[in-house]
Amino acid sequence: MQLTEINIYPIKSTRRIAREESEVLARGLPWDRRWMLVDVEGRFITARKYPSLAAVQTRLDDAALHVGAQGRPELVLPLRATPREAVTVSVWRDQCEAVPAGDEADAWFSDYLGVECRLVRMTDELVRGVDPDFGRPGDEVSFADGFPMLLISEASLRDLNSRLEQPVSMRRFRPNLVVDGEAPYAEDGWRRIRIGAVEFEGVKNCSRCIFTTVDPDRGVRDPSGEPLRTLGRYRRRPEGGVYFGQNLIPRGGGVLRLGDPVEVLDP
């Protein structure tokens, strides 16, 4: 089994940046979900409600995050954060602190989405903890929904696509890590794995939502509700929820590279 994809999503709900290698930090991969949009009350905004957000592209260089969308001028966000007073924002039931990105970013996204909003950033000094029901004291996460990283196997996607009239890409599910060489849905039961020299704890299968129906190229929802509708036919649990993928917490640092071997330590 080997690692076949490494992905980051610098702004929550926008397009991925594919990597060939990446360092692993306590809160996940560097620059993953370090920016997020919030409404005027500080509540997080995602492509669940604003599907066009999924079509926003990002690009990193040594000095800045470059943000673009079709027909829009490029927005450049310096990686070195401008000192600003932190504000309180919410992600689901969590509240945490974030630093405003500035008026230019707010205007760019407000105009693009057609709703007043603000772009905020999580700096290294600001910490959001993982749900204590699943993590340990000191575990942290960025603006991701709940956990530092998400893993899905290619075999699971192939099985899903075999049930769909129109296959979908892995980008619908927004994983950080993709692996190949195991049976479909084997990752459901992984409690501890090693990828290269880095160990991870599998803490919770990933519950899926309407976001999976958003086409990441066009930023629109699938009118038939796929692939969520098909997933719901065979991946829904009696207690509720449709699951696809495994959430991970790093248990050590290191560097991941495409092609790294994947070893299940506790199946």
pLDDT at 250 (0 to 100): 98
Radius of gyration for the chain, computed over Cα atoms and rounded to the nearest angstrom: 18
pLDDT (tens place) for every residue of the chain, 267 residues total: 999 999 999 999 999 999 999 999 999 999 999 999 999 999 999 999 999 999 999 999 999 999 999 989 999 999 998 889 999 999 999 999 999 999 999 999 999 999 999 999 999 999 999 999 999 999 999 999 999 999 999 999 999 999 999 999 999 999 999 999 999 999 999 999 999 999 999 999 999 999 999 999 999 999 999 999 999 999 999 989 999 999 999 999 999 999 999 999 987
DSSP letter at 28 equals B
Give the per-residue pLDDT at 267: 73
The pLDDT assigned to 266 comes to: 86
pLDDT tens figures, 240-252: 999 999 999 999 9
| CA pair distance 203, 187, nearest whole angstrom | 11
Which pTM was predicted? 0.96
Listed by start position, the domains of the chain span 2-266
Q: To which H or E segment does residue 51 belong?
A: none
Contact 221, 166 (CB under 8 A): no
Cβ neighbours around 81 below 10 Å, total? 17
User: For the chain, what is the total number of helices (H) and then of strands (E)?
Assistant: 3, 22
Report how far residue 154's alpha carbon sits from residue 253's, in angstroms, rounded to the nearest whole number. Answer: 25
Contacts of 190 by beta carbon, 8 Å cutoff, 6+ apart: 202, 246, 264, 266, 267
- Dist. CA 97–CA 102, nearest whole Å: 15
Q: What CATH architecture applies to the domain 2-266?
A: Beta Barrel (2.40)
Question: What pLDDT sits at residue 82?
Answer: 85
Q: Is 162 exposed, middle or buried (0-12, 13-18, 19+ CB in 10 A)?
A: exposed
CB 257 within 8 A of CB 24: no
